[in-house]
Structure 1
Amino acid sequence: MMKTMSLTTESTRRITEYVDQLCRLMKEPAAEINDFREEMTANLISGVLEHMHTGINEQQAVTMALSQFGEAGEVKRELEKIYTVKRRFAAGVLRSALTLLVLSAICLGLIIGVWNERTVAKFTEDAYQMVGQELSTPGTTSLSQPLQEKLKAWVEDTWGVKGISVERAYYQKNASPRLFMYAADPEAEQWLNYFRSPHMESEGEGDSLPKSHFFIHTRILSKAGHGHSATEQPQTIDENSFIVSVATTYFNYTFFYSLGLFLLGGYCLLFTVWAGMNAYYEGKGNIGWIALFLLTNIIGYGLYLLSRGSKRRGAVAL
């Protein structure tokens, strides 16, 4: 204000008209236009005063200061370039942050949380329900042909299911406990043979642990029952006790959990950069806000927006 008062009314009018003309050409939010107005006015006044210190009269100093910035149309084009680059960069940072957030949600939520923890376990329950009623009949030594076909079709048509094995938990010596087994590929058969029921005697097969892929592993999930019982292990092992094992695919916990956390960290960092840029362009990019954005993410940015809005309402009231 002291610099404005040092100029005559005519000089102040010329500067104000020039800045207003530039502001009318801008297509930015009102907050950015106001910030630009204040900064441009201060720069012009400073330029006028510098020229006046060299001995130039005030009106000539104003003319020289305005000419240094150029015609309004030229300044507009330069401003458009600056704001376009800023908007594109900020939008690119935000898009990248949201992309990392979505990928992190896929790794931690869909792959680890939904598939590995819920869907895979559901396969064993489904298989148990399919064979439970038929195996509740004492003396059953095999599954009916319709049920076998149903289980084969279930394995073939269900993504993630690679094989199924049904065994009696109690069996006579020299008798095979396995009532039924079907594997979609040799790898699934190898895994089913390796992870046999602890009640089965070793027959010399599956003595070595099958190899597994890095990203996707094979898991054998078993459910034991006694007739229609849903308990994990029958209390009494008799001719009605059976075990259903399903070979399913699941994703590498260590890899996808680490990847999900890494992507989430990248999102937090990029979001902090985007929020910090916005605060900086609005003249509030101090370390306190940056730390809040980094630690609390969108909550901190929401608090920043509330703080900015309350300050503007207070300024209008004054």
Structure 2
Amino acid sequence: MKQIEAFVNEVYQGVGGNEKEIKDLKTEMKNHLLEAVYELKKEGKSEQEAIEIAIDRFGGEKEMRSVVGQLFQAQKTFAKRMLYIAFTFLLFGIISFLSLGLFEYQHYQNVEKVGNEILGSLGTQTTISNDAKEIMVTSVEDNKFIYGVKVNSDNSNSDFEFSEDRQETNPFMKHFNTGFSNKDSDWSVEMEISNFDDLTYGSLFIGLVVYWVLFTIWATINAYHHRGLNTGWIIAFALLNVVGYLFFRFVGKGIKNETN
């Protein structure tokens, strides 16, 4: 029935998307309409009346075009949002990595400054002065990323150790010991401090993994809508990410045209 076919074509006119999917949807809609027409004809309606009633019950051309358009627009919107979220996580990972890296650098600079200050207060003396002890205690109490300080000398029985037992709530933050010494004296300083490597590289890793997965999904959806999706391209997107998708857009189309 040409009128049914013309109605279906009008509904999907101008709709962008995967051609095979659109063709299947058009066939499904046409079959539903034809079934409705046959049922109406059994009830005693003429063919023209049956066609008009079936189309009217289906929703009419304008309404159906609106519904179909919204459906395909929703698919495109979903894909776009997924791409935006992917790049948001990528940006988050990079910014977190750079920010934490800068903070860690400043932290180590501060630790080095404290270590040199303690060594400077000890000088070449053979005992630890009260001023030096006060500097060590203050350095631990005033800096939540310094957990303890220990001072000793190879040529002296005098040593001093001060630490605070702090509960670490961040599972990515670990402690490690770092030492300082002065070639002009026999004193050495050992400090227990925070280490941010796991947090710094962990944030970058999480950002990259989430981005990689979401971009692969987005690229797969886009390839499907361009009628070029196959297992090989999915593997290329998963392994090569942006490079794989660019290869699909600029080379895949040529391969598809040649096969057609």
The TM-score range, normalised by the shorter chain, is: 0.5 to 0.7
Give a deviation string over 1:220-253, Cα, whole Å, max 9, x none.
21122213xxxxxxxxxxxx12112222123595
| Residues 1:307 and 1:156: Cα distance change in structure 2 (over 3 Å) | farther
Q: Is the 8 A contact 2:96 2:200 kept in 1?
A: yes
State the alpha-carbon separation in 2 of the partners of residues 276 and 69 from structure 1. Answer: 33
Q: Is the 8 A contact 1:168 1:243 kept in 2?
A: yes
State the alpha-carbon separation in 1 of the partners of residues 209 and 85 from structure 2. Answer: 12
Q: Is the 8 A contact 2:149 2:192 kept in 1?
A: yes
State the alpha-carbon separation in 1 of the partners of residues 95 and 190 from structure 2. Answer: 28
How far is 1:131 from its partner?
A: 3.1
State the alpha-carbon separation in 2 of the partners of residues 34 and 278 from structure 1. Answer: 9
1:187 aligns with 2:158: no
State the alpha-carbon separation in 1 of the partners of residues 188 and 63 from structure 2. Answer: 81
Look up the match of 1:299.
Answer: 243
State the alpha-carbon separation in 2 of the partners of residues 302 and 167 from structure 1. Answer: 61
Q: Which has the higher helix share?
A: 2
How far is 1:276 from its partner?
A: 0.2
How far is 1:93 from its partner?
A: 4.0
Look up the match of 1:226.
Answer: 183
State the alpha-carbon separation in 2 of the partners of residues 243 and 80 from structure 1. Answer: 74
The SS at the match of 1:141 is: coil
| Residues 1:279 and 1:124: Cα distance change in structure 2 (over 3 Å) | same
Q: Give 5+ residue unaligned stretches, structure 1.
A: 1-6, 27-31, 189-210, 228-239
| Residues 1:162 and 1:73: Cα distance change in structure 2 (over 3 Å) | same
Q: Is the 8 A contact 1:107 1:256 kept in 2?
A: yes
| Residues 1:22 and 1:298: Cα distance change in structure 2 (over 3 Å) | same
The SS at the match of 2:155 is: coil
Q: Is the 8 A contact 1:124 1:221 kept in 2?
A: no
Amino acid at match of 1:161: I
| Residues 1:214 and 1:105: Cα distance change in structure 2 (over 3 Å) | same
1:138 aligns with 2:82: no
Give a deviation string over 1:51-88, Cα, whole Å, max 9, x none.
9xx9xxxx97xx68x94975222213322442354245
Give the counterpart of 1:248 among 176, 193, 203: 193
Q: After the TM superposition, which parts of structure 1 deviate over 6 Å for at least 4 consecutive aligned residues?
A: 106-111, 113-116, 211-214, 255-260, 308-311
Give a deviation string over 1:245-291, Cα, whole Å, max 9, x none.
222123595x9978975775454333212210111012111122111
- Percent of pairs with identical residues: 19
Amino acid at match of 1:139: Q
Q: Give 5+ residue unaligned stretches, structure 2.
A: 39-46
Look up the match of 1:202.
Answer: none
How far is 1:35 from its partner?
A: 4.8
1:274 aligns with 2:191: no
Report the TM-score, using the length of structure 2 for normalisation: 0.62
- Size of the aligned set, in residue pairs, is 241
1:176 aligns with 2:158: yes
